[in-house]
Amino acid sequence: MDALGQALTILDYGAVAVFGASGALAAARRKHDIITFGFFAAVTGVGGGTLRDLLIGAPVFWVGRPEYIVVCLVGALAIWVLGWGQGRERLLLWLDALGMAAYAVVGALKATSLGVPPVSAMIMGVLTSTFGGVIRDILAHEPSILLRRELYVTPALIGAAVFVGLHALDLTLLVSGTMGFLAAFVVRAGAILFGWQMPGFPGRAPPG
């Protein structure tokens, strides 16, 4: 495996671990047991990639490589042992931003490598990086990331679009992947630090 392949593998496992930890954190807020911690972690960690693989007709990535589930469970165990607080939750927020940016590129790259058209590959990048969080929020009865004004899906879309666009221009995977990752992370960082939001619908609500 070359250096780029190794970097992508590290990003892939790192993103799964972070998303798994975020799922366990949702379980911690509800004071669930250790089994639920593991379940939340696994669903959150591999949920987006599972949906991507099903949609593009690829073998579901973790079925033949169960170490991905193990990585999720390690993230859950870390939250169980270390506990959680404002400081750790803030750290996890930033790690989640890194994982989202990585998965936006990894998801789009896998779709592109299997011949998926560019626009669809962008959507696969978005689904890979966000769908696990959607499932997590539903299971934990928390407001969905899709309904929050703070930017989350938008950075994933921007990162995937930058990667797919530059890759279509025949730039190397290192350049296109790095630029896609940075685009997604910078926009997400702006949302965390400065509360960046997309403008809401300007029309009036119907009379109630």
Cα-to-chain-centroid distance, residue 84: 21
Place of tokens 């169980």: 80
pLDDT attached to residue 65 = 94
Look at residues 49, 39, 42 and name the one whose alpha carbon lies nearest to residue 12.
49
pLDDT per residue, tens digit, the chain (208 aa), is 566 677 778 878 888 988 898 889 888 888 899 999 999 999 999 999 999 999 999 999 999 999 999 999 998 998 898 876 777 778 778 888 988 998 999 999 999 999 999 999 999 999 999 999 889 888 888 887 777 777 899 999 999 999 999 999 999 998 999 999 999 999 999 999 998 888 877 766 555 5
Closest to 123 (Cα-Cα) out of 52, 191, 57: 52
Q: How many H-runs (helices) and E-runs (strands) does the chain carry?
A: 7, 0
Spans of all domains in the chain: 3-194
* Six-digit token string for 121: 């590959």
| Sequence letter at residue 202 | P
**Contact indicator for 47, 25 with CB cutoff of 8 Å:** no
Structure tokens at 175: 């350049």
C-alpha span between 194 and 181 (Å, rounded): 20
Tokens of 167: 């890759």
Contacts of 132 (CB under 8 A, 6+ apart): 19, 23, 43, 44, 45, 46, 47, 48, 49
| H-run or E-run covering 63 | none
State the Cα–Cα distance between residues 111 and 76, nearest whole angstrom: 28
Q: What is the DSSP letter of 199?
A: P
Give dist(CA 103, CA 12) in Å, integer: 7
Q: What is the pLDDT of residue 203?
A: 64
With beta carbons less than 8 A apart as the criterion, state whether 147 and 91 touch.
no
Q: How far out from the chain centre does Cα 118 lie?
A: 19
